[in-house]
Amino acid sequence: EPEVTQTPSHQVTQMGQEVILRCVPISNHLYFYWYRQILGQKVEFLVSFYNNEISEKSEIFDDQFSVERPDGSNFTLKIRSTKLEDSAMYFCASGRDGRETQYFGPGTRLLVL
Amino acid sequence: AQRVTQPEKLLSVFKGAPVELKCNYSYSGSPELFWYVQYSRQRLQLLLRHISRESIKGFTADLNKGETSFHLKKPFAQEEDSAMYYCALSGNQAGTALIFGKGTTLSVSS
């Protein structure tokens, strides 16, 4: 059964550095999402992406964040200048038509020092 | 405000006992409701959604619009049900965000 994959599984970075988190959605899916979960807190929506543009974003998704689908398979989340409070598990998800189930990747655990 | 509330952080039951994981929501409109489950060291996966009205792994959930609830139930818990359970809602537009509750850890012991 096809699955969403994410790389890396863990990333440690210094405050102020740029990080790129990568996701490969399920191949026939058209809607892509990023969520994050700070340790001990709820899973929070960051952004959704369809037809090569952002369709919805949360208040968390400020100017330091960006998303891109650089080719036909990858979907990336870039954090331009990381802060300590960006330390979290970041989940990518994809969905076939936007109304059906969102399928989640295993997550990337980001630690900002 | 759009919100999902799961009042219990941890629910511990014995094998064979009934289970009810509570979920209440606040949403202006007609949301879609979901239960996601995360087993140890595994990814978040959909358990069930209210529109399908299915029973998955013996779990059921009924949407009660009057009480704005979507509680998850199982008559006889199994040890393999031990996991983190998240209630979530979304609007019914395409590509809309999932709003999650904080999750309830279900621990089933023998």
Of B46, B93, B98, Cβ closest to residue A45: B98
CA distance B59 to chain A (A): 18
| Per-residue pLDDT reduced to its tens digit, B6-46 | 999 999 999 999 999 999 999 988 889 999 999 998 999 99
Q: What does the DSSP assignment read for chain B?
A: --EEE---SEEEEETTS-EEE--EEE-SS--EEEEEEE-TTS--EEEEETTTT--BTTBEE--BTTTTB--EEESS--GGG-EEEEEEEE-SSTTPPPEE---EEEEEE-
pLDDT score for B46 = 92
Q: How many pairs of residues across A and B have Cβ atoms under 8 Å apart?
A: 59
Q: How far is B95 from chain A (nearest CA, A)?
A: 4
Report, as an integer, the average pLDDT of B91-99: 83
Mind listing the pLDDT tens digit for each residue in A20-67?
A: 999 999 998 999 999 999 998 999 999 999 999 999 999 999 999 999
Contacts of B49 in chain A (CB under 8 A): 101
**A58 contacts B49? CB cut-off 8 A:** no
